[in-house]
Amino acid sequence: MRIGELAARAGTTTRALRYYESRGLLPARRGENGHRRYDESDLRLLRQIRALQDVGFGLEETRPFVECLRAGHPQGDSCPASLAVYRRKLAELDGLIEELRAARDKVAAQLTKAELAAGATVPGGPEPVCELGGRKL
């Protein structure tokens, strides 16, 4: 199949395919007329790349999966190098989750503090002032 058909079937652009080719992830085969030629195995590679990118893997992180498929394995994640990438990505995601959890805890604590301060006003006392706009509430 030609590059346009492959791009359409893979749900990507011809520009992306050329880029993958330049990065060595997609084979650069040409027909007698000089046009790029692709087959079903190339579509399989692209689907693996796209599936990994859709869940946050960088393009270079897909390389072991592509190489695993090229080596003839039925799945791109059945090789030790692919499993290692999964482990690294999982550790990275766990770290990001912890950072987000810590940020959330800080925001929740600040909200609690602000709510307590707003609720601590005494009837007949000074009116609370919005710190953002300087207006009385």
Contact at 8 Å (CB) between 137 and 127? yes
Residues 17, 48, 94, CA angle at the centre, nearest 5°? Answer: 115
Would 121 be classed as within a structural domain? no
Would 126 be classed as within a structural domain? no
Would 133 be classed as within a structural domain? no
Would 130 be classed as within a structural domain? no
We report the CATH number of the domain holding residue 14 as 1.10.1660.10
Farthest-apart Cα atoms in the chain, separation? 90
Would 119 be classed as within a structural domain? no
Would 72 be classed as within a structural domain? yes
Would 75 be classed as within a structural domain? yes
* pTM to 2 decimal places: 0.75
pLDDT tens, position by position, 60-112? 999 999 999 999 999 999 999 999 999 999 999 999 999 999 999 999 999 99
Confidence of residue 130 (pLDDT cuts 50, 70, 90): low
Q: How many domains does the chain have?
A: 1
Would 127 be classed as within a structural domain? no
Residue 84 is part of which domain span? 3-113
